Structure 1
Amino acid sequence: MDQIIKSQSDKPQESSAGSELKLTEKNFRDLAHSSPDAIFVYVDEKIIFANNTGLILLRASETEQVIGRDIWDFIPSSSHRSLKRAVDLIINNKKSYISTEDKMITIDGTAIDIEISSTYFNFNGKNGIQAFIRDISKRKRAEERIKSSEKDYKILFESTGTAMLFLEEDKTISMINGECEKISGYTKDEIEGKKKWTEFVAPEDRLTLETNHEWRRKSGDAPMNFEFKLIDKYQRHHNAFMTITMIPGTKKSVASIIDLTEIKKAEEILAATQQNYRLLVENTKEAIAIIQDEMVRYVNPKLCEITGYSENHILNKKFYKLVHSDFNEIVRNEYRHRLDGTESVTISPVKIIDTGNNERWFQINSVLTIWGEKPAVLLFFNDVTETKNAQDALMASEEKYRLLAENAKDIIIVYDENGTVNYLNYSGYETFGIQKDKNNNIKVTDILFPGSGYLRPSALTGDTGKDFKNYKNRIEVSNFLGELIQLETISSPIKLDSDNYGMLVVGRDITERKQLEKEIILISERIRQQVSRDLHDDLNPHLIGIEALSQVLSMSLKKKQVSESADAEKITTLINKAITKTHRLARGLCPIDLESSGIQTPLMNLMKLVRSLYGIECKFTYDESIIIEDIALATNLYYIAQEATLNSAKYSGGSLITITLERSRDTLTLSIEDNGSGIPRKKGTDKEKNSGMGLKIMKYRAEIIDGVFSIQKNRPAGTVISVKIPINILKSEGRISYGGRFPKTKPETADIYS
């Protein structure tokens, strides 16, 4: 180009600028228009020449769209500054050549990527620039796609869950990803370009991998996949699986490594688990079978053992033939339900006949499973033959005891903690006149304890009640005729179910027995009184007469001075003693004379006797409104008071004994109190053994007069023995009477020492 410019300067110059322009264009035309690159020449920032390739580059349809225009019209404003610096550099250093990449704006406003090479051009003494421009848009787009692809591959390389690495021909590791750092324990800086892959291979695997490395580069036919032991930074061995291949056109290799250590451990655990499950299934006490397409596909040894059939005899046979024909449809329906996905249930016991023709009962549980990649049903046979037999025996026993309870003459009642009667036998329904109806909602208080509380099971199921001891009691209830009857009950807490307690009450009607006892006691008392009167009114006068005769005889013999007079005196003395004993015997047989003194005088005499014998202060409090009409009642109360008072005097060590006989709204109460040491409690579990004969007798006497006998600690010290008798019983039988007034707030105390 410099030569063209130089030749132009040697030629004669035309007078007009237009002729100079035409001459220049002629010199450039052939060369410029043949160039594949766009050529632009601009002087004073005005374009004076553009070849055809340039016009096409700027997408100009006519030359006038480009020639004469400012070069900056086709340059993005963001590039003006850098391009002006380049122009200044070229002009100031005319031999410089600047090549760069930038953008150009076409006629239609499209920005295209260009590669521009600029040099100095002297145009008739003016500074000009000739620019060779090549459209590099396609190359740029290709480069962008390559960059994008490289970025994607790099992201993929780093993000993959597999350790990736590039290997050079000399075995050096040139690049690794993050997963490779994890498995090796080294950082990228510690590995890339510094370590060879052989450093990470266990010695026993190294030769094989090195051989494959050389073979792969020579023939390209080496194995791509293999397992080996990888050694990490901390000398730990990993089970690794590697896939390796050559990068086409190079001697490099790319490899991916999967750490199989955890997988191997899992496989070992799985294998051990499978072995354990196999041993469990083979040795379990439950019989197991797998059913598929209604055929038996698997049985464990236990099923063969309990049925007596061999495995070959059972396998690939219809499974429902394992059970008794009565249960075929039951197990078939269960099988269908499982395949349909219905929730698993436990089949009621089914019967199987073994090879010995014995009945065996099994509870069957089923669950859906997969066998050979097809749905199947897993059946568990739990042998419940002994349980079934026990249940049958229990049902028979329950039926037997039910019949026994239903036909018992005693009343049998079971009620819960709320007092609702859960069971009442026939005798109970008959006694209380209740219509037997399943819908009856009977409360125990309606029959046993009308109008009062009742013994709750919770009161007997604490620390002292869980031993299920029996509790005895005597109560009065009304039968269906409205008559009062007496029941002797034995109550015991029982378990109604796993969570709730109840009370079992067995009641025996003792009304007739009690009446007979009273009659016997009454007869006994009458005989005692009769004997006492006979002794006092008949025998005693005879003895007194004999005593008088013997005294007369003795005096007569003395006057006559007969030696037998001494014997006569002895006879008189013996007769006198007999009279005394007869008197005592009569008083002992009948200590109470209701007609003359009632019970007060004997009790006061008892107090005087205790004081004189033991020196203990005694007090007697008596409700004067009470008149005891029944000799048996008075006698037994007296003997109870006597036994308790003498026991207290002998053994309590107290200084005061108080006897009280009073009535309240509901009871007539006799109590004997002392301030001594109390009755000692002996070791043992049987209360009756500890109570002594005297206590037993007192308790018995209390029972035969319809009383409740009790012994309690006194406060602050001593013992209280009491007998309480229901007033309504005593009044209804005419055994007591009273004037209708209650004792004073502070009952009068008889001073027995005055």
Structure 2
Amino acid sequence: MVGMLPEDKGNFYDRLHDSVILPSSIVEFYPDATLVVDNGGRVVAWNKAMGEMTGVPAEDMLGKGNYEYSIPFYGKRMPILVDMVGLPREEVSSRYTNIIVHGDTLEALTIKAKVKGRDVVLWGTAARLYGLNGKPVGAIESIRDVTAQDMVERKLMESEEKYRTIITSTNDAIITVDTKGIITYVNPSGIKMMGRPYDDIIGRHFTYFVVDAYKDRAIQAFSQGMVGSPVPPLEIEMVDGDGRQVPIELSGGALHSGRVKVGAIVTFRDVSERWKAHERLERRVKERTEELALSEEKFRVLAETTSSAIFIYQKGRFRYVNPATCRITGYSEEELLTMNFWDWVHPDYQELVKRNGRARRHGQLSPPRYEIKFVTRGGEERWAELTPGLIEYNKRPAILVTAVDITDRKRTEEALKNSKENAEMYLDLMGHDINNMDQVALGYLEMAMKAVQEDDPVYAYISRSYAMLQESSRLIDNLRKVQQAVDRKLRLEAVDLGAILSEVAEEYSIVPGRDVTIEYRPVECQVMASRLLKDVFSNIVGNAVKHSTGPLKVSIGVRPCVHNGVRCCEVSVEDDGPGIPEGLKDAIFSRMKRGSTKAPGSGLGLYIVRSLVEGFNGRVWAEDRVPGKPGDGSRFVVQLPSV
């Protein structure tokens, strides 16, 4: 029996006395969820379908008022359709859509409900209940879940709209034809592609627009499609409104109305550019085939005539060898092609070659060229420089190698190494033993000069010999400095550049017999150099003094700079001496190269400067003190990396 409020049943029946009463069995077994409220908004009936829909049984809802019955639908207390019977449509439309009003009966749709945690679309029908005396005694509402139906309708509408949009906006031309091949529809892209007005297309047989040479193929494809056979994309030519033959690619399928086949839908697109590209590709393939044949001939001639060994090995076996390979290894072509590749590589280098080969096959980093030792057929050990590359040979990975016999070069390098070691030994001998002897000789000469009067002719001979020995000692010292700089044996450390420049400025501020002015404002700057840094600036300032006459002004400036992203200290040493001719500004840094003055010297001073500066990872150059005026003095610029 329908759920009724027991303690209020008599009162409710009293109000319904002599009125039209819904039999309780009818309400209970309504297929739709149904509730009844009295005039006070209290639930007096809550049928089984309502309990199943909301999950709330009748015993938990009967007698409840204050919109308790809205909570299972909206999660809060609020008027629902049963409370809105008789209200103006405007008030109902604030919460419901699709409103239908028939007197005191109200129908509407809501999409805002949430039942059992699920968003639902509900269709409600509510009506006023009257007694026989004509007075309202309550209201009834039946609710139906139409979520699935609503979703289907919406998807159908969206699908129709989507396909309508696609057909009208796509770049592909689309036509439909009936079972006889008569065109019944063409989209805007089809009108544009066919170059004809709409009325000139509709009602014509589709073959009217096909080039004669392709009509049979088009009819055959249409017939296959109409009997349900698959039809692959077809390329034919169409005649447009200007009489041009346009290459098109078309595809299609049968159209059905229910189970009845009513025609076909055909899409086609202009493939003129594809046909042109295909023609260009065919020409290019032909050209490339001819070029490849010519390239193969060139490679064959090159491989057969080059002095470098060229060979291909695959899975450890020789697959191809050129004549130079035979000449270098001493093996014949037949012998090499039956040999294991590793048989000619010296045992000490086999693992190196294998490791590089594996790395190259797996796309890993490997040296583009490297040196190995190999063994000739006669057992001679020789050297080769290999340049390998990964190729495909007979559709399988292989290694193409160019090998140059560098045995003579290696022997020359060994000889040069020995010569260098001998030269260093001689230089060490000069720098140590000979210099020691010079120092002893200088000591004896100093004693001899003290024993002889300066006006004695013998004194001049002794002092001259003393000066020559001093020059010899300086030359030996300079050679040792050059050796350290060239061989990169300088130990770099943080050096106080400002202190070094102060020492140089002080030493050259007083030059006997010369009026020399040194301008320098002390600065603080740490650079990476060695104790030989002082020689750099002593040589530069000393050269300015030595290669000038009369009064001389030397200005030393320091400023920070950046070179190639490295912070540096830049020192400029400029003088107002005779300057340096344009053609000598770079040459003066070369070994044994002197300037245009007649001043004595070994020609090593500026060569030592450049060698030391480059050993400090810096750079040095000469320029005009006044740009464009070489005769107005020179400027030497030294850049050194800062700490």
TM range (shorter): 0.3 to 0.5
Greater RCO structure (CA 8 Å; 6+ sep): 2
Q: When the two structures are superposed, what TM-score results if normalisation uses the length of structure 1?
A: 0.35
Higher Cα Rg: structure 1 or 2? 1
